[in-house]
Amino acid sequence: MHRLHAPHNQPSGDESPAEAVATTRRALIGTAAGLGAAALVAPGVVLHTLSAQAETAPITNKSRWGLLIETDKCAEGCRACIEACDHEHGLDRQVPEGSPSKWEQQKAVWIRKVKLQDNQTGRITQLPLMCQHCEHPPCVDVCPTGASFKRADGIVMVDRHLCIGCRYCMMACPYKARSFIHHNTTGQLTAVPRGKGCVESCNLCVHRRDYGQDSTACADACAATGHHAILFGDLKDPESPIRRRMREIQNRQIREDLGLNTGVRYAGI
């Protein structure tokens, strides 16, 4: 009896010695690579060099990508993030079809600018609203083909090869974040294939993730305008800029009551 239980009673460290060595070595290699790159080229160029390397290993759950949006810095009337997103994913390359009003209602939109007003105080808040990259995404629950899925690194996206365009996910999404492509598409970008009959939404610039770039188009554009309202980063890394900022300021999920644990957090609402 005691012998049976003995292994459980033995004190065990968080990780075995072999794992500890591996972790240390990884950290060392990371530091060495970083130092080498920094020694050779200027900071701006490091980014570019990294961007050329395609990922060859499967992504892991070691990171979870997310956004922190500071709504008090989001300016009224500014559409920089939306335009950058459209540009990055080729949404602005669409030729309008049908009547203008129908096109306006039905064209794909990955980021919506939402204006909130507190009726009691009159306080107005601006916020960009995109796919919230839930930990427990309702769109994935309802998808009948498995096209809606969550990657290991927390990015919720659509496998368009499997999508049959039923739009259950659009109905299930509490954030109205998904769009359906109604028309034939032209001039798609190599990194962002998209076509008629599929649902799509913000994918946290997944091609940038896979090519080792460390930002999203919207965050870049927002920083370029000087607002710095959108911060992209790894929610699992305690030392990442996004986590540090989240420690500093009050932030929350939209519709926290749904318990979805979203990857996009908002400050100032």
Q: Looking at the DSSP assignment, which residues form a beta bridge with residue 234? A: 65
Query: Judged by CB under 8 A, which stretch of 85-93, 99-107, 109-117, 236-244 contacts other proteins?
Result: 85-93
**Least distance (Å) from other proteins to the CB of residue 233?**
17
- Of 31 and 53, the one with the shorter C-beta distance to other proteins is 53
Of 196, 244, 252, 255, the one binding other proteins (CB under 8 A) is 196
- The helix-helix angle for 80-88 and 217-224 (nearest 10°) equals 140
Q: Is residue 191 near other proteins by the rule CB under 8 A?
A: yes
Of 37, 46, 47, 59, the one binding other proteins (CB under 8 A) is 59
Q: Is residue 228 near other proteins by the rule CB under 8 A?
A: no
Six token digits for residue 269: 């609402």
CA of 125: how far to CAs of 110, 120, 136, 163, 231, in Å?
Answer: 20, 14, 27, 35, 18
Total of residues contacting other proteins (CB under 8 A)? 41
- Of 70 and 200, the one with the shorter C-beta distance to other proteins is 200
**Least distance (Å) from other proteins to the CB of residue 57?**
7
Six token digits for residue 21: 């060595």
**Least distance (Å) from other proteins to the CB of residue 186?**
5
Query: Judged by CB under 8 A, which stretch of 14-22, 28-36, 62-70, 87-95 contacts other proteins?
Result: 87-95
Q: Is residue 195 near other proteins by the rule CB under 8 A?
A: yes
- The helix-helix angle for 17-40 and 43-51 (nearest 10°) equals 120
Q: Looking at the DSSP assignment, which residues form a beta bridge with residue 233? A: 66
Phi, psi of 233 (to 5 degrees): 175, -175
Q: Is residue 5 near other proteins by the rule CB under 8 A?
A: no
Contact by Cβ (8 Å): 129, 112 = yes
CA of 108: how far to CAs of 93, 174, 191, 208, in Å?
Answer: 11, 17, 17, 20
Q: Is residue 161 near other proteins by the rule CB under 8 A?
A: yes
Closest to 64 (Cα-Cα) out of 268, 265, 263, 269: 263
Query: Judged by CB under 8 A, which stretch of 38-46, 47-55, 121-129, 251-259 contacts other proteins?
Result: 47-55
Footprint on this chain of other proteins (rule: CB under 8 A): 51-52, 54-59, 87-88, 90, 92-93, 95, 149, 151-153, 157, 159-161, 184-196, 198, 206-207, 209-211
